[in-house]
Structure 1
Amino acid sequence: MGAIAAVVLVMIVNEANDPPMKILVPPPGDVGPYVPITSVVEVVVTQPTDPTTATTKVPSPQQPGQHQTSTTRQPATGQIARTTAARTPATKTTGLEPPAPPDDGPVPVIVCPNVAAALPAVPAGAQTEVTRELRNLETWLAEANRRLVASVGISDPGFVHNAILGPLISQRIASLDRIAIAIGRFGPRPAGLERLAPCSVR
Structure 2
Amino acid sequence: MLIFDVNGIIAGIQTAVPKATWTPPPGPNVGHPLIDDGEFWTLTAYFIDPSRICNGRTSEDLRTEGTGTALYIQNGTDPLKSVIQILQDEKQLVPTTQWTKGHCFYTMGDHYWYNVRADMPCNQFFPSCLLYNKGQLNAFCWALNTQLTSPRYEHPTLSVLSQFIDPVPQCFATDPDYKALSTMHVYFSSEISDLC
TM-score with structure 1 setting the length: 0.28
Whichever structure has more strand as a proportion of its residues is 2
- Larger fraction in helix: 1
Please say which structure displays the higher CA radius of gyration.
1
Q: Which has the higher contact order (CA 8 A, sep 6+)?
A: 2
